[in-house]
Amino acid sequence: MSDGTYLQYFPNAYSDVLNHGSVTLLAGINNQYKDYKFPDDYFPGSNSASGTVSGEIVYVGFGISATELGYDDYKNIDVKGKILLMETGLPYNGNDSTLLKWEKYSYHRYKFQRAKELGAVGLLYISKIANPNTSYLEGFVYAHTSESVAEELFDGTGRKYSETNAAIKKNIQPNSFAINKKVQISASTKHFPDSRSCNVVGIIEGADSILKSEAIILGAHLDAVGSPGCLFPGALDNASGSVNILAAAKALAASGVKPARTILFIFFGGEECGLYGSTKSVESPLWTKEKVICMINLDMVGNGTGFRISNGKSFPDLLSPFADANEKYLHRDLSSSEARVNFGRPRTDAAVFDKAGYRTLSLGTTGNVKPVYYHHPLDNTDALTPEIMEDSAKLLYLGILELANNPNIGIY
């Protein structure tokens, strides 16, 4: 950095979740009292307000008011003082120009703000994964619940949750209704609106006096989802990608053959909160964009038997060093895909670089050996297969060394 550090800062509001809170179905005409269990039935909201709210439950589908698209989950539904049961994502599932029109409605922050704007006091979000990429809204208490809890809440309504959800997506028609049950949600959090975080950057300067002006960026997000109710270790997502890069960096630094081009290692912060670190990196580039050969991203690279290099088929000059290294020394299955336009919201750090016009590759794995506990307390080191991590680091070392030293590889 210009100040001589290796830390690139950016704003990063966040919340500490102080305990797992509670989600309770209150006794009613159609149901008995029930305390839902953490972590089996729900996770507390990573940016929930502190406090307790209770109220009638209203199912509001995807929680979207897109009047210009002829779609409004809130039409003729009163949600003031209510607790919403809401889907994540969009009713539209294609990846084409139509999705572009829906994209702004896919953000969790939009959905939360819309719900609060209409007077809802709380939310059960049907997606039992911890997720700090949400809004903290004063007085708005929420939790993530599983589909099985949603199905249970639908009992006695004459409808099935799974069928209702499927019908909304099939017809792209809202189907909101009052469930006629009451729920109570409690949360204990502390919000830090003025905080910041940083990317941690490493560099190996190129050994060639001319080629060193060109750089290869190797990135992985270092952050995870914190401790909402208990420790969510984030071993696969994304300690795995981070340590693979660290191992490759150590090897490249120690290598008897030095890379001719410069290699930048960026351990992104703020990925889980909303791709803050990678966004900072493309908005305040650490290297002249026109001199970057490519950006290679690693996210969840620690469970499997084979390699997958996304976008590799579109950039054969970038893919070839990795394919050759694998064929000669590692002998794993290696598949690759064409780059494709993403009309939806970016979901990875690579997508941020992609959108900014960089050539990107994403190294992933295929053939999961163990269950994947995505944003879950069981995402610990037992969920990793160290053999594929070793080979990923070896693949990076050999592939990047060749990319860095081959004079025939151009910028594009």
Partner 1 sequence: MKPKYLLLILLCFLFLKTYPQEAQNAILKTFHSISSHDLLNDAAELSSAKYGGRLSGSQVTLPPRNGWPISSNKAESNQP
Residues of this chain that interact with partner 1 (CB under 8 A) are 1-14, 16, 132, 192-197, 222-227, 231-235, 239-240, 242-244, 246-248, 251, 254-257, 269-273, 276-277, 302, 329, 380-381, 384, 386-387, 389-390, 393-394, 397-398, 401
Structure tokens at 298: 């690693």
The rounded distance, in Å, linking the Cα atoms of 210 and 24 is: 65
58 residue type, one letter: V
Q: What 3-state class would DSSP assign to 359?
A: coil
* Closer to partner 1 by Cβ: residue 120 or 403: 403
* Closer to partner 1 by Cβ: residue 90 or 389: 389
Q: How many residues does the chain have?
A: 412
HSE-up of 235 (CA within 13 Å, CB side)?
Answer: 19
* Closer to partner 1 by Cβ: residue 16 or 40: 16
The rounded distance, in Å, linking the Cα atoms of 407 and 410 is: 8
Q: How far is the CB of 98 from partner 1 (least distance, A)?
A: 33
The rounded distance, in Å, linking the Cα atoms of 203 and 20 is: 40
Say if CB 129 and CB 376 are below 8 A apart: yes
* Closer to partner 1 by Cβ: residue 230 or 411: 230
Q: What 3-state class would DSSP assign to 66?
A: strand
* Closer to partner 1 by Cβ: residue 84 or 352: 352
> What SS3 string covers 28-78?
CCCCCCEECCCCCCEEECCCCCCEEEEEEEEECCCCCEEHHHCEECCCCCC
Structure tokens at 370: 């163990």
Pick the closest to residue 369 from 384, 381, 355, 354 (CA basis).
384
Q: How far is the CB of 12 from partner 1 (least distance, A)?
A: 4
* Closer to partner 1 by Cβ: residue 329 or 412: 329
Pick the closest to residue 218 from 186, 258, 250 (CA basis).
250
Q: How far is the CB of 380 from partner 1 (least distance, A)?
A: 6
* Residues 6 or more apart in contact with residue 299 via CB below 8 angstroms: 220, 221, 237, 238, 241, 348, 349, 350, 362, 364
* Closer to partner 1 by Cβ: residue 44 or 233: 233
* H-helix or E-strand spanning residue 262: strand 262-268
Q: How far is the CB of 340 from partner 1 (least distance, A)?
A: 28
Q: How far is the CB of 200 from partner 1 (least distance, A)?
A: 11
* Closer to partner 1 by Cβ: residue 100 or 257: 257
Structure tokens at 182: 């009451």
* Closer to partner 1 by Cβ: residue 25 or 393: 393
Using DSSP bridges, classify how beta strands 51-59 and 83-87 pair: parallel, antiparallel or unpaired: parallel
* Residues 6 or more apart in contact with residue 235 via CB below 8 angstroms: 302, 379, 380, 381, 383, 384
Say if CB 366 and CB 333 are below 8 A apart: yes
* Residues 6 or more apart in contact with residue 338 via CB below 8 angstroms: 311, 313, 314
* Closer to partner 1 by Cβ: residue 47 or 311: 47
Pick the closest to residue 301 from 269, 264, 332, 327 (CA basis).
332
